[in-house]
């Protein structure tokens, strides 16, 4: 059974110690230019993990990712116009 995951964006003072975040969850992405990391943790322990990450000296702030709440199923009421542009 697959556990529910919650994504967090961790803003950092420096991107070099970001590899230490791997012990808190799945480290998905690290931006060295913008100094942030994306980490996924289990939903049942997400709040405790977030509090422990915030205590780290190289972390500015932690934000929850709302990617799972964005609607990804699209429907269109407009007709397909590709047949008008074909030769």
- The answer to whether the beta carbons of residues 11 and 62 sit under 8 Å apart is yes
How many folded domains does the chain comprise?
A: 1
- Answer yes or no: is pLDDT of 13 > 80: yes
**7, 63 Cβ separation under 8 angstroms:** no
Tell me what pLDDT residue 87 has: 61
Q: What is the pLDDT of residue 69?
A: 76
In a domain, 25, yes or no: yes
Q: Domain with 58 in it: what CATH number? A: 3.30.70.80
The domain in which residue 30 lies consists of 5-68
* Residue 54, in any domain of the structure: yes
Q: Judge whether 55 lies within some domain.
A: yes
pLDDT tens-digit readout, 25-83 = 999 999 999 999 999 999 999 999 999 999 999 999 999 988 777 777 777 777 667 76
Residues in the chain: 87
Residue 57 lies in a domain: yes
Asked whether residue 86 is domain-assigned, the answer is no
């Amino acid at each position: 059974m697959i556990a529910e995951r919650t994504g967090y964006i961790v803003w950092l003072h420096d991107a070099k110690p970001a590899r230490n975040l791997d012990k808190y969850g799945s480290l998905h992405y690290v931006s060295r230019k913008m100094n942030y990391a994306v980490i996924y943790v289990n939903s049942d322990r997400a709040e405790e993990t977030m509090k422990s990450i915030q205590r780290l000296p190289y972390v500015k702030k932690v934000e929850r990712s709302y990617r799972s709440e964005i609607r990804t199923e699209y429907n269109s009421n407009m007709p397909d116009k590709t047949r008008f542009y074909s030769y």
